[in-house]
Structure 1
Amino acid sequence: MVLVALALSGWALWRQGAGVQLALGLLALAYVSPLCALSAGLLSARTVHHLVIVFGAAPLLAGALKIGRVPLVPALLCHLGVFWLWHLPAAYELALSNDAAYWAGQIALLASAVLLWRALGQDDQSPTTVFFVIAAMVMQMGMLGAVLTFAPGALYAPHYLTTARYGIGVLADQQMAGLLMWVGSLPLTVAAAWPPLARVARQARIELAG
């Protein structure tokens, strides 16, 4: 089913440009490569999976697809809500035990991230707003990463019995996931946000020169 959906999407969107093609490649990496299977057993792999979607495929799709104007603050709140909801232990367990819940979460994560990056890329955003939103993204990723890193026990029951086959304890896997999210979110956020950051810098130079 996933292969069919990706194939149909690729056929329909291939002519949209290199950005869409690269985004589809990243989605294939996330959903039909060994990374997807590994993410079912390791929370740390699931973190990489989410980073690929949110900071790889989503900004590429946001820049390449024809999407209308998106209000920035609602887009940010929507994405933060989706991100935190699906990382709650109960919701996470539901997603790994129910295919419909899993794909609902994945679609919501990708769609909310695409809308957020689209909102960030709009030409009329003020520098203050752009930096606020980027800082909020880094903070929320950092907060969740800190929770995973410093929690005294394992939070996600689906991984209690899955990490041993990879030679790692469940708590160590969770701590690795937290570090990946905590440390990896900053450079990835800056890289994905570089176009709006560059635009803001150009606007500032023009205003100073004027």
Structure 2
Amino acid sequence: MNRTDLVPFCGLPPLPGDLAWNLQPLLLGVMLAGLAAGWRIAGDRRLFLAGWAVLAAMLLSPLCGLAVALFSARVGQHLGVMLLAAPLIAASLRPRAAAPRELALAATAFGAALWFWHLPAPYRWTFVSDGAWWAMHASLLGTAVWFWQGVLRAVRADAALLSGLATASQMGALGAFLTFAPRPLFAPHALTTLPWGLTPLEDQQLGGLLMWVPGGVAFAALALWALSRPLFADAAPDQGPA
């Protein structure tokens, strides 16, 4: 067995008081390379820096190690990536109109990535393979940025509304499924939650609630924003070229 068969990418499950930053050279190098690339292509560099800072906090902070011990911490990490970092990065990119079909594809890809990586077998895979860990975070971030960019640049407000409601529904369904499951589903946490005062089932239920409630609130806000877009557009005065 090699190292990745024994130790998750963020390290062994920490005990209370043992949390540490994840400063692996490979991760730092990827984050710096992404920062340099995004700096060149971003239309609004302030928004990009804000989004990249949130992403760095999710992956480099002690939350990364805590996510090895607790499923609920992993869910919180993913929500930070998908609902904070991704929208900021998407908003920083140069404007590009998104047709309803592209928005539907983005929402489908985002939902598929979310469900896939929170099913027991793929989830367990990320604990025994560094490649799977990278694939999980890259796909969640990439599809979320694609989705949020489509919503922000949607040609039609009703398409943004429908995609937001559909995404909120599937995220809520996954959260409810995890919350009401009668038994723990995630083997990597079978022995890691008790030091933190939670049984594996309680940890899973907390993770489901985090996905269900904050995720639902975020996408409800998105739906309201989509409904208000035509009103703001009509109220905004026309501006000629500078």
What is the TM-score with the length of structure 2 in the denominator? Answer: 0.78
Who is 2:194 aligned against?
164
Q: Which runs of 5+ in 2 are unaligned?
A: 1-25, 237-242
- Hey, which of these two has a bigger chunk of helix by percent? 1
Does residue 1:81 correspond to 2:112, yes or no? yes
User: How much has 1:131 moved relative to structure 2?
Assistant: 1.4
User: How much has 1:187 moved relative to structure 2?
Assistant: 2.3
Who is 1:116 aligned against?
147
Aligned pairs (5 A) from 1:101-180: 101-125=132-156, 127-180=157-210
Q: Matched residue of 1:40: which SS?
A: helix
Q: Which runs of 5+ in 1 are unaligned?
A: none
User: How much has 1:11 moved relative to structure 2?
Assistant: 3.8
- Corresponding letter in the other structure for 1:119: G
Q: Matched residue of 1:73: which SS?
A: helix
CA offsets per residue over residues 71-97 of structure 1, 9 Å max, x none? 111111111111111111000000121
Cα 1:193–1:7 change in 2 (3 A) is: farther
User: How much has 1:5 moved relative to structure 2?
Assistant: 1.5
- Corresponding letter in the other structure for 2:142: A
Aligned pairs (5 A) from 1:7-86: 7-14=32-39, 16=42, 17-66=45-94, 68-70=96-98, 71-86=102-117
User: How much has 1:189 moved relative to structure 2?
Assistant: 2.4
Cα 1:59–1:163 change in 2 (3 A) is: same
User: How much has 1:101 moved relative to structure 2?
Assistant: 0.9
User: How much has 1:130 moved relative to structure 2?
Assistant: 1.5
Higher deviation after alignment, 189-198 or 42-51? 189-198
Which 4+ residue blocks in structure 1 deviate beyond 3 angstroms?
11-16, 66-70, 190-198, 203-206
Who is 1:98 aligned against?
129
- In 1, are the aligned partners of 2:90 and 2:146 still within 8 Å (CA)? yes
In 2: Cα distance, 1:111 partner to 1:189 partner:
18
User: How much has 1:8 moved relative to structure 2?
Assistant: 2.8
Tell which structure's C-alpha radius of gyration is larger: 2
Higher deviation after alignment, 190-199 or 38-47? 190-199
% identical aligned pairs:
37
CA RMSD of aligned residues (A): 2.1
User: How much has 1:105 moved relative to structure 2?
Assistant: 1.3
